[in-house]
């Protein structure tokens, strides 16, 4: 091993361009793959408060066609309950805002802040794994009574009330008086279905005006072992029942395979009037990964040819002193393996630094100030997959030049200039 490392160091000194391009090419492959994977995995991997993303389904939209009052949009509260309440195999369900309302809030500090408000029912707090810092959550009676109470985030509490006691304090939310009953730890905006700065029990009154349309999502935690298709088949039956009610108005629903899983919701491939196809997003990612791996591998193969051409004399001398062809191949492949490891480590470090300090990477999520934690971004299996793929492609790239090098005639190799 020591001799191989010394050989690599010697090559970097005598052939700096070829040597460093080889290492940097591998590092760049690892870096780009890690960044692409990180941007995708923060949308699907589980983390608090969305601790069970792999068991979550979301009913978000309704699509209706026919005469009058047709279209596709979010659901009202009563319709959401009609389609998704009491499904077999659902462990917990919550009805909450599909999108947030940005409104002004003012507390005892006297300064007005724009906060993101999410209307929810009491099941929201059982479904999502929030950390309650002080006070309590609202219950079913308070939701039904449409009380002006709120659970706020830690940052919002600090902005509205400074360092003062928060529980029991009143503040203005969109010019209406609200009482604070609870404070939860700040939530990353990457938790797109649970994020909020102010949570109120206004889901029934705000989004149940008697029409089909509204801003309500049915968020469901599915029991372990229950197949998602089993849930969807039940919902499809609910759609058929709804069609019976709409038939008198010459209208009918269009079913789009709801409820959607986390991958579908995060990919944005579904919509209120589109049947989602999450596999198309996966195919695109796989093609990107292949390009990021194969293109550098082709370049590295050319670089390795150049390196070996400059070492023809050395290989000839070693062959003349009895070094076998098998050993020549083995040592060249070992050097390629070590170079890949060095490049992989550099690529991993670069990806970590880039992810932690370049907030613009996450601008699609609407924020550059709330970055995900390192544990959300860096997954060992992702790095090992990328590094393993680079190892395989680099060794394949090195195999042909190594075989040609081992076939050199010692006398001709020594005399080659």
Indicate whether 226 and 98 sit together in one domain.
yes
Residue 354: inside a domain, yes or no?
yes
Show which of 206, 223, 258 is a domain's final residue: 258
Cis before 391 (ω within 30):
no
Indicate whether 203 and 74 sit together in one domain.
yes
Rounded to whole angstroms, the Cα distance separating 137 from 134 reads 10
Residue of 39, 41, 32, 18 whose CA lies nearest to 295? 32
Show which of 224, 258, 292 is a domain's final residue: 258
Indicate whether 72 and 23 sit together in one domain.
no
Residue of 155, 197, 189 whose CA lies nearest to 368? 189
pLDDT the model gives residue 71: 83
Ranges under pLDDT 50 in the chain: 363-370
Indicate whether 106 and 244 sit together in one domain.
yes
Rounded to whole angstroms, the Cα distance separating 53 from 240 reads 28
Indicate whether 71 and 185 sit together in one domain.
yes
Pairing of strands 176-184, 251-253: unpaired
Residue of 231, 241, 242 whose CA lies nearest to 76? 242
Residue 271: inside a domain, yes or no?
no
Q: What is the pLDDT of residues 207-261, one digit of tens each?
A: 776 678 899 999 999 999 999 999 999 999 999 999 999 988 889 999 999 999 9
Length of the chain: 417
Rounded to whole angstroms, the Cα distance separating 143 from 141 reads 5
Rounded to whole angstroms, the Cα distance separating 361 from 40 reads 11
Residue 105: inside a domain, yes or no?
yes
pLDDT the model gives residue 230: 97
Residue 375: inside a domain, yes or no?
yes
Residue 160: inside a domain, yes or no?
yes
Token pair in block for residue 364: 């699609």
Q: Is 286 helix (H, G, I), strand (E, B) or coil?
A: helix
Indicate whether 288 and 244 sit together in one domain.
no
Token pair in block for residue 112: 């007005």
Residue 157: inside a domain, yes or no?
yes
Indicate whether 226 and 88 sit together in one domain.
yes
pTM above 0.85, yes or no: no
Rounded to whole angstroms, the Cα distance separating 215 from 189 reads 19
Token pair in block for residue 268: 């944005």
pLDDT the model gives residue 364: 45
Indicate whether 294 and 236 sit together in one domain.
no
pLDDT the model gives residue 172: 96
Cis before 49 (ω within 30):
yes
Which domain covers residue 174, as residue numbers? 61-258
Sheet harboring 61-66: ordered strands across? Answer: 71-74, 61-66, 251-253
How many structural domains is the chain composed of?
2
Q: What are phi and psi of 247, to 5 degrees?
A: -60, -35
Rounded to whole angstroms, the Cα distance separating 296 from 29 reads 7
CB neighbourhood size of 27 (10 A): 24
- Rounded (10°) angle between helices 380-406 and 278-309: 40
Indicate whether 285 and 390 sit together in one domain.
yes
pLDDT the model gives residue 48: 84
Are 76 and 38 a contacting pair, CB within 8 Å? no
Indicate whether 100 and 218 sit together in one domain.
yes
Residue 269: inside a domain, yes or no?
no
Residue of 21, 22, 33 whose CA lies nearest to 350? 33
pLDDT the model gives residue 415: 60
Indicate whether 88 and 124 sit together in one domain.
yes
Indicate whether 336 and 236 sit together in one domain.
no
pLDDT the model gives residue 378: 66
DSSP 355-377: HHH-GGGGGGGT-SSSPPPHHHH
Are 307 and 11 a contacting pair, CB within 8 Å? yes
DSSP 131-171: -EEEE----HHHHHTT-SEEEEEHHHHHHHHTTS--TT-EE
Residue 274: inside a domain, yes or no?
no
């Amino acid at each position: 091993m020591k001799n191989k490392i010394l050989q690599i160091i010697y090559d970097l000194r005598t052939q700096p361009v070829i040597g460093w391009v080889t290492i940097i090419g591998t590092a760049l492959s690892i870096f780009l793959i890690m960044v692409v994977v990180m941007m995708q995995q923060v949308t699907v991997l589980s983390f608090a408060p969305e601790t069970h993303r792999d068991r979550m389904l979301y009913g978000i939209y309704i699509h209706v066609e026919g005469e009058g009052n047709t279209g596709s949009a979010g659901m009202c509260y009563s319709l959401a309950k009609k389609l998704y309440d009491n499904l077999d195999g659902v462990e917990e369900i919550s009805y909450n805002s599909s999108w947030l309302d940005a409104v002004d809030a003012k507390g005892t500090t006297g300064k007005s802040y724009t906060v993101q408000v999410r209307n929810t029912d009491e099941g929201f707090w059982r479904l999502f794994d929030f950390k309650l810092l002080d006070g309590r959550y609202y219950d079913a009676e308070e939701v039904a009574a449409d009380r002006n109470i709120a659970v706020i985030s830690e940052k919002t509490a600090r902005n509205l009330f400074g360092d003062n006691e928060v529980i029991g304090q009143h503040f203005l939310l969109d010019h209406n008086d609200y009482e604070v009953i609870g404070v939860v730890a700040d939530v990353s905006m990457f938790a797109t279905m649970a994020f909020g700065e102010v949570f109120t029990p206004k889901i029934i009154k705000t989004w149940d005006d008697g029409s089909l349309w509204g801003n309500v999502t049915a968020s469901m935690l599915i029991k372990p072992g229950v197949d998602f298709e089993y849930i969807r088949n039940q919902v499809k039956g609910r759609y058929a029942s709804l069609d019976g009610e709409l038939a008198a108005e010459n209208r009918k629903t269009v079913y789009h395979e709801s409820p959607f899983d986390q991958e579908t919701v995060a990919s944005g491939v579904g919509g209120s009037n589109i049947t989602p196809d999450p596999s198309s997003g996966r195919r695109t990612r796989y093609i990107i990964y292949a390009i990021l791996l194969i293109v550098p591998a082709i370049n590295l193969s050319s670089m390795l040819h150049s390196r070996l051409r400059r070492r023809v004399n050395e290989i000839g001398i070693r062959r003349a002193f009895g070094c076998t062809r098998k050993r020549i191949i083995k040592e060249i492949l070992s050097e390629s393996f070590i170079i890949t490891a060095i490049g992989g480590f550099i690529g991993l470090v670069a990806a970590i630094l880039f992810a932690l300090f370049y907030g613009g990477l996450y601008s699609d999520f609407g924020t550059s100030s709330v970055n995900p934690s390192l544990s959300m971004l860096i997954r060992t299996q992702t790095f090992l997959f990328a590094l393993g793929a680079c190892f395989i492609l680099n060794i394949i790239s090195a195999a042909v030049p190594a075989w040609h090098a081992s076939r050199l005639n010692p006398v001709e190799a020594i005399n080659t200039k």
